[in-house]
Structure formats: C-alpha cells, structure tokens
C-alpha cells in the first residue's frame, strides 16, 4: 500500500513561512485561505522565554473525520492516501471545517482576489479563473499534498521550497522512502509523533522534536 505523508523535523523549522507562501503560489488560494501555515508561540517569562514554531497542514488522515462528516460525500481518499475534495459534490455544509481537529480545512467562495482592489492582476485572474475555476468555488479547500504535482512526479511545493529542509515527503509505508531514510539517519534518534492522537484520525503527517 502507498501511504503518502510528510515528516516535519521541528528542530530544523525556523517558522519562516516559505511553505505558506509556496502554497499561496501553487494553489492561488483566496485571501486568508492558507492551506499550509506556521504557528508560533512563546512560552515562559523573560528572560527564560522560549519560542516554538509549528507548521500545520492537512494530515491526510487514515480515518479522516472530514470525510465522514461530509453530508454530500465530497471528500475522498485516493489510493495513495491523499485526502481530496471533489468540488462538484461540495454542498457548502462546511461540516468538514468543524470536523477537522487540525483547522486544516477552509471554505471559500473565492472572495476578492486581494483586499486592495476589484481589478485582479494577470496572476490573480489565472488563480481565480484557471486554478480556482477548476475547483469550482465556492467549495471546501484543503491541502492535497499538491496532488497535481505528485501526479507529474514532482514533490509538494512546500517540501521543495523549504529553506531548512524540514519537510520530508514520501511513502510512509516504504522502508526506503525519504521520510524513513531520514528517520533512520537522524541523530539523535527520535520517535515521530502525530498531532492530536486523541482524535483517533490516524494522521499521515508526523513531527520530530
């Protein structure tokens, strides 16, 4: 079985948002829809303060709660494990948005291309009418690991662009895939962990501290 997923090494991540921007580019999402994001949070009191960065994206769950919540069966799981939205079927109930424990699903009607103006630039027109047009907004939107790129043999945009190389993409079931080789070679050895194991979603995005 193929089980595509991403391993994120938080020790590498510098919270720079190159992934967030690469995703904006690749998917041309409307304003305030960020299918890939990085949260940062401070802990402690000065001068003993720590700051952490946490990249968040769709976890491509084995048991996706969004899929079971959708009343119109508009969310499906591909054979390679990627969870996708079938925009045609999206009825706008937005049950998926509230079902996702990771806040990784957005609902958008496309909105204005940007907050400044009604006159879209050529790029915004492309995103609106070509990319999002194909997605037939309004619809639910989520990260699909750049399935269009994967189908062309490329890696997801966020993975390719990451300056620190903190995102490692591949088939988690394949012992010689990039994530498994990375885990094997990493010093110190750590056990990857998923987010919200309590949600019983069996995610395919794992993190290393």
Partner 1 sequence: MCRMCLHGCGILVHVVNGVAVKIDPDPDNVDNLGALCPRGNAALTKHYDRNRILKPLLRMNSEKHWDADPKWKEIPMEQALAIVAERLRAIYRKDPRSLLCSFGDFQRYWTLAWPAGAFGAPNYYSTLGSTCGGGYHPVNGAVHGAFAAIPDYNYCNYLLQLGSGDGFEGHLHLSGTARRVADARMRGMRLVVVEPRLGTAAAKADEWLPIRIGTDCAFVMSLMNVMVNELGHFDAEYLKKNTNAPYLVGPNGYFVTGGNGKAQVWDPIAKSPRAYDYPELSDLSLTGDHEVSGVKSRPAFEIFKENLRVYTPERMSEVTTISAETIRRIAKELVEAAEIGKTIELDGQVYPFRPVAIQWYRGAQPDSHSFMENFAYKMINMLLGNIDMPGGHLGVPLGWSPIDWDGDCSLNKIEAGENGIMKPWLGELQFPIPYKRLSETAQLNDRIRLGSEPGELSPEVVLQHDRFGRAKPEALFAFSSNPLMNMPRSAESLKALQTMDLIATIDTRVAGETTVFSDVLFPDRTFLESWSLYTCEAPFVTGHTLRQPVVKPPTETLDGTDIITELSERIGILDKWNDSLNEFLGLWKNQKCLLEKDKKYSSEEIIRRFAAAFYGESRNIEWFKKNGTSMRLKTPRELYFPYRGLRLPFYMDFVKKAGEDARTNAESGTCCLQPWEQGDYQPLPEFKISNIEVNDLQEYDLTARTTFGTYFKDLQDSSWVVEVAGNKPELSSVWINAETASKRGIKTGDRIRISSKYDSVEGIAWLTEGLHPEAVMISLAGRPRFKGKHESTSTTSISELLAPEMRAASGNYETSLRVKVEAIR
Residues in contact with partner 1 by CB under 8 A are: 9, 11-12, 14-18, 20-22, 24-26, 28, 31-32, 34, 40, 42, 44-47, 49-53, 113-117, 119, 121-124, 126-127, 130, 157, 160-166, 186-187
Q: Which is nearer to partner 1, 14 or 91 (CB)?
A: 14
Q: Which is nearer to partner 1, 74 or 146 (CB)?
A: 146
Closest distance to partner 1 from the beta carbon of 12 (Å): 4
Q: Which is nearer to partner 1, 24 or 142 (CB)?
A: 24
Q: Which is nearer to partner 1, 6 or 162 (CB)?
A: 162
- DSSP states of 62-125 as a string? SS-HHHHH-TT--EEE-TTS-EEE-GGG--S--HHHHH-TTS-EEEE----SSSS-SS--HHHH
Name the pairing type of β-strands 105-108 and 83-85: unpaired
Closest distance to partner 1 from the beta carbon of 108 (Å): 13
The gap from C-alpha 14 to its chain's centroid, in whole angstroms, comes to 17
Q: Which is nearer to partner 1, 44 or 71 (CB)?
A: 44
- Is cis: bond before 128, omega within 30 of 0? no
Taking the chain, what is the end-to-end CA distance rounded to the nearest angstrom? 28
Closest distance to partner 1 from the beta carbon of 38 (Å): 9
Contacts with 113 (C-beta within 8 Å, 6 or more apart), sequence order: 30, 31, 120, 121, 124, 125, 127, 128
- Two tokens at 78? 């591909």
Closest distance to partner 1 from the beta carbon of 198 (Å): 27
Q: Residue 7: how many CB atoms within 10 A of its CB?
A: 23
Closest distance to partner 1 from the beta carbon of 29 (Å): 9
Q: Which is nearer to partner 1, 121 or 200 (CB)?
A: 121
Closest distance to partner 1 from the beta carbon of 26 (Å): 6
Q: Residue 175: how many CB atoms within 10 A of its CB?
A: 9
């Amino acid at each position: 079985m193929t089980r595509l997923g991403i391993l994120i090494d938080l020790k590498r991540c510098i919270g720079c948002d190159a992934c967030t921007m690469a995703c904006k580019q690749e998917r041309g999402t409307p304003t305030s829809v960020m299918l890939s994001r990085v949260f940062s949070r401070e802990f402690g009191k000065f001068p003993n303060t720590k700051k952490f960065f946490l990249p968040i994206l769709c976890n491509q769950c084995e048991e996706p709660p969004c899929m079971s919540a959708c009343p119109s069966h508009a969310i499906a799981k591909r054979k390679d494990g990627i969870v996708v939205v079938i925009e045609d079927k999206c009825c706008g109930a937005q049950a998926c948005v509230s079902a996702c424990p990771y806040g990784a699903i957005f609902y958008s009607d496309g909105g204005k291309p940007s907050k400044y103006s009604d006159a879209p630039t050529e790029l915004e027109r492309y995103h609106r009418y070509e990319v999002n047009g194909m997605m037939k907004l309004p619809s639910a939107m989520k990260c699909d690991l750049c399935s269009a790129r994967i189908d062309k043999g490329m890696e997801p945009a966020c993975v390719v662009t990451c300056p620190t190389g903190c995102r490692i993409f591949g088939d988690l079931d394949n012992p010689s895939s990039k994530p498994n080789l990375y885990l094997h070679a990493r010093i110190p050895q750590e056990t990857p962990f998923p987010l919200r194991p309590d949600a019983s979603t069996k995610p395919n995005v794992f993190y290393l501290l």
